Structure 1
């Protein structure tokens, strides 16, 4: 592990420098929006926010219109939404063969059933909560981790961009999501950096390279 940490530190120093790209901040205090964001982010482009949002931002904006004004921090309310209405709002994308709209509603119900209703209830390290989320077809531990990150919990979303960054750094063609997460977490501890900020900087760098 220490060799991998040294390799990633060198990779960051060479390609990212001292000033890491800032984490945009997630969805603090809004458990509903964080859940929609996490599920809609699976194999999707984030797009852009603003008056004409695209990608995941468009889905989040559509969900806000569906639910109305104010802080959206009640998974019980999300779980009560008709999946057809959710689908009309967020679209027909799928994960694991299931509509993401249905997965969102089912995940909200599963989490509410184990006492997770508000943002403050979410504990990414709680295995019971994690099992509730991942019991929904198409949802796995990577987006469970990201769900917590969106609510302000430190973490690493080991998606393809972060896996690619770690693979490039350690010069191994095959790196698992778990390995990538562990290397980023260990590197963050070693440098005193926020794991969320380090993960986002690696994600942004690798994603930008593909778009060039």
Structure 2
């Protein structure tokens, strides 16, 4: 559903408290970490994501690598070194799945998402930022990413780009709840697409980066009971 001018005004008023907020810088030089963090992040506490990222960094450093500059090739190589998705999950990742019902190990989704980028010629975060300037190319990559098991909603796609330095909004449950509550709408009726569009518009009207506003809203929601 499309948002109204009145709804946009109400959301801007609710977001006034976040003026001046800034999001962490993400992983502008490490596309590998962008992929890992984004896929691991859904449906879990962020502490578990930080643990996976820390183990990946440790694993790469033990082998003389620089995880803060790793691209897709380096990420995919770790799967080969560890014998595939199960070995990667045990050494670096965890047993979290993309869905509690019919999902796969998130390590599998990470590998498959990395393959999508690799096949599209996106090896580094800089490559992705360049691709973001071409809507047709980016739409093609998104189609492949969202075809990976558990990534259909596009939430991790948006988040991965944000971590790579492309401004945006990750319309997950935290963001959708804030939008719904701010507008007096039923939470179940607010979809990610609506939240993405209206929060992006609010950020533009406020003169903020969508990424900064997204992070401020997410942290606010995280702290609520």
* Same structural fold, with TM-score higher than 0.5 when normalized by the shorter chain: yes
8 A Cα contact 2:159 2:169, kept in partner: yes
Which residue of 2 is the match for residue 50 of structure 1? Answer: none
| Bigger helix share | 2
Which residue of 2 is the match for residue 139 of structure 1? Answer: 151
Mark the CA change 1:100 to 1:191 in structure 2 (over 3 Å): closer, same or farther: same
The alignment of Structure 1 onto Structure 2 pairs a total of residues equal to 200
1:76 and 2:73 correspond: yes
1:182 and 2:175 correspond: no
1:111 and 2:108 correspond: no
Which residue of 1 is the match for residue 58 of structure 2? Answer: 65
**Structure 2: how far apart are the matches of 1:159 and 1:17?**
18
8 A Cα contact 1:116 1:129, kept in partner: no
Residue 19 of structure 1: how far off its partner (Å): 4.2
Residue 17 of structure 1: how far off its partner (Å): 5.2
Residue 41 of structure 1: how far off its partner (Å): 0.3
Which residue of 2 is the match for residue 51 of structure 1? Answer: none
Residue correspondence of structure 1 range 62-211 to structure 2 within 5 A: 62-68=55-61, 69-70=65-66, 71-80=68-77, 81=79, 82-88=84-90, 89-96=92-99, 97-122=103-128, 123-124=131-132, 125=135, 126-140=138-152, 141-173=154-186, 174-210=189-225
Residue 139 of structure 1: how far off its partner (Å): 1.3
Structure 2: stretches of 5+ with no match in the other structure? none
TM-score normalised according to structure 2 size: 0.84
TM-score normalised according to structure 1 size: 0.89
**Structure 2: how far apart are the matches of 1:145 and 1:19?**
22
